[in-house]
Amino acid sequence: MTPLYLDNHLLVVSKPAGMLSQGDRTGDLDLVSWAKAYLKERFDKPGNVFVGLVHRLDRPTSGVVVLARTSKAAGRLSDQFRRRSPDKRYLAVVQGHLGERGEAVDGVVKQEGGGVRVVAPNHPGAQRAALRWRTLAADDRQSLVEVELLTGRKHQIRAQLAARAAPVLGDFRYGEPVPFADGRGIALHAWRLTVEHPTRREPMTFSAPPPPSWNGLFDDAVTRGVAG
């Protein structure tokens, strides 16, 4: 990985599909561990290196992640994500068609095994999950959509789109049986993120195109969407 942006407070990268955001019991390489090793080598730092994970992407999802390099930056960025002030945009290729544009407001409840289930917003114990989408291109079988994430619930894009008969390509967990690319990722990419810089207090937008595994998937429309 090559950083998209680096200063004294932020490290911004495009996470590969299949990489964990944070370590787990598998012991597989995760983004935080990679970032600590990268910064240690880049700046020849002795001892421990601080990296704050203030938001995360699902393991099979690729795209832009902002990491904090100081505790002050971590606190201020975490507060932004709690207040849902960052602008988070994703690209997804889904089976089926969702219509030109729309908004989904659901409830989600956690399931055994790590997934979530979409329920009515007033379902007991449900967390509110909201997003908007617009279709950028479509063919007979599938669609390219841009998703604006309005809340930050686990798996919510994957679960909410699947609940509308439009599962993300390669997403076995939510009903799409056909593998995507090498089977480690799905066709969901966090392509643009806008946050307020933690010390300069000015908006900064970071973006990255989908990974090479997307080659051939609505190439022209993906390019227009990322450029726009």
The whole-angstrom separation of Cα 68 and Cα 203 is 16
Which amino acid, residue 208?
A: A
- Cα 153–Cα 190–Cα 10 angle in degrees, nearest 5: 95
Collapsed DSSP state (helix, strand, coil) of residue 90: strand
Q: Is 58 a catalytic residue?
A: yes
Neighbours of 206 (CB within 10 A): 20
Per-position DSSP letters for 37-85, written without gaps between them: HHHHHHTT--S----EE-S---TT-EEEEEEESSHHHHHHHHHHHHHT-
Instruction: Kindly give the pairing relationship between strand 10-15 and strand 62-68.
Output: antiparallel
- Say which of 7, 24, 58, 171 is annotated catalytic: 58
Return the exposure string of 217-226: e unless at least 16 CB atoms fall within 10 Å of the residue's CB, then b: bbeebbeebb
Q: Report the alpha-carbon distance of residue 61 to residue 91 in Å, rounded.
A: 10
Dist CA 171 CA 183 (whole Å):
9
Residues involved in catalysis = 58
